[in-house]
Amino acid sequence: MSKQTYRRTKIIATLGPASEAPEILEAILRAGTDVVRLNFSHGSAAEHRARAERIRAISSKLRRHVAILADLQGPKIRITRFKDNRKVHLQQGQPFTLDTALPADAGNESQVGCSYESLPRDVQAGDTLLLNDGLIELKVKSVEDTRVRCIVTIPGVLSNNKGINKLGGGLSAPALTDKDKQDLHTAVDIGADYLAISFPRSKDDILEARELLRQAGSDMAIVAKIERAEAIREGVIEGIIDVSDAIMVARGDLGVEIGDALLPHEQKRLIRLARQHNKVVITATQMMESMIENPQPTRAEVSDVANAVIDGTDAVMLSAETAAGHFPERAVAAMARICLEAEKYPRLRHSQHRNDQSFHRIDEAIAMGAMYIANHLPVSAIGALTETGSTPLWMSRISSGIPIFALTSHEKTCRKVTLFRGVYPISFDESGISDHAVLNRAIVEEFLKRKLVKNDDLVILTKGDLTGVVGGTNALKISRVADVLAASPVIVGSTPPAEE
């Protein structure tokens, strides 16, 4: 297989009514989905468990490693409902009140209830509130007890249960609600690989989730969804990134809170910061929104996905496009096609990452050294024996067109690395092989079985003196495939069966 056929940017597809049927789920996996997102804003624990079992069964049938991302709902900062479930037309300049004490189904043309009881304490005269993803804008005129009295500054049609954001941030709702804490246990029970935390305000929200996972007996990786204005402030965002395994640039609520004009700059900054901190980054929301209804993306959507790829995102995410759209398989295929073309951009094959920094761990130095060598020699593949995925993660922070194969006996690690840019998992059991030459041969034979390399290709292999030890990578070998084969006798049964 030619290395040019590898898509380095990973694709996350959200499961929903349009894609949960077994034949559709299989189709979107075949089209290029690497991670399946379960949106805990919808559905019961039993439904999510059934979906997870379906994902595992179909990925096993396809002999592919597919990760599951469990996305917690977070705090619901919403209006309640209108009388008779009708829609109201808000006119520019008209008074409109949000009242946390109003009955849940008593909204009308002049007022509506609010499910967020702290709203009157979190806002003051002069603040701007944005409803329905920013389509409607209200200016706060006064706060009286439970009532937030406003003037409509951007008119529109308002219906039940629409979200509320405050321009500039500042709503104090906790990131983890009681529902989220219950859903966290469901995510652990179903064996999810990543847990996404919605609306974190600081690193403390992530640390709270980490402790809840620990108490539940899980070391699941955590994705911090960056969607509050206060979360991107200098010093705060670095803290969130440091205690997370990945971040998601959740452009919907974030764009509403900071304003659409600032969003492109912040997206680029967040991608850059995550990579500088050796963390994974996902770009999400409305990437191919038109494909909910149409079989082809718009040119603007093509450019949006491509620019995220060029900026270095690890993954791009589809939401309603696959959860509720008419063309879930086509949406995944289109995104895969765009990513592959964007990855040909020359800048993506060069990197200055950490050239001026010192390393504090041997395994980290080995990873960085391997990528520097790979970018300066005609290397065809990199094989990294790994327990937890740390070495291939560090490698993937370096821009390169060379595929990184994470070889591990741990299924959990195989699924975890599916989110890392340019990293591809291989189930590989090195137990019982203590001789380095024999182990090297076993690895390149595995590559040959999978048609990943040819005899005259140059490869880089990284591993530790003691296999099965976390953080033990301390060896790097550069060799041609044929030379590795010649350096060790054949040992029958030293490599596992190849996957398709």
Q: For the chain, what percentages of helix, strand and coil (3-state, to nearest 5) are there?
A: 40, 25, 40
Pairing of the two strands 147-154 and 136-144: antiparallel
From the list 222, 131, 232, 239, the residue with the least C-alpha distance to 176 is 222
Q: How far is CA 265 from CA 258, 268, 279, in A?
A: 11, 5, 19
CA 425 remoteness from chain centre = 17
Q: Active site includes 78?
A: yes
d(CA 114, CA 204): 27
Catalytic, out of 3, 30, 64, 78: 78
Q: Active site includes 285?
A: yes
Q: Active site includes 225?
A: yes
Catalytic, out of 7, 8, 37, 441: 37
Catalytic, out of 166, 225, 228, 416: 225
Q: How deeply is 84 buried, as exposed, middle or buried, from its count of CB atoms within 10 A (0-12, 13-18, 19+)? A: exposed
d(CA 399, CA 372): 10
Do the beta carbons of residue 266 and residue 258 sit within 8 Å?
Answer: yes
Catalytic, out of 80, 100, 186, 285: 285
Q: Active site includes 10?
A: no
d(CA 283, CA 302): 14
From the list 334, 313, 284, the residue with the least C-alpha distance to 37 is 284
Residue 485 — φ and ψ, nearest 5°?
A: -65, -35
Residues with catalytic function: 37, 78, 225, 285
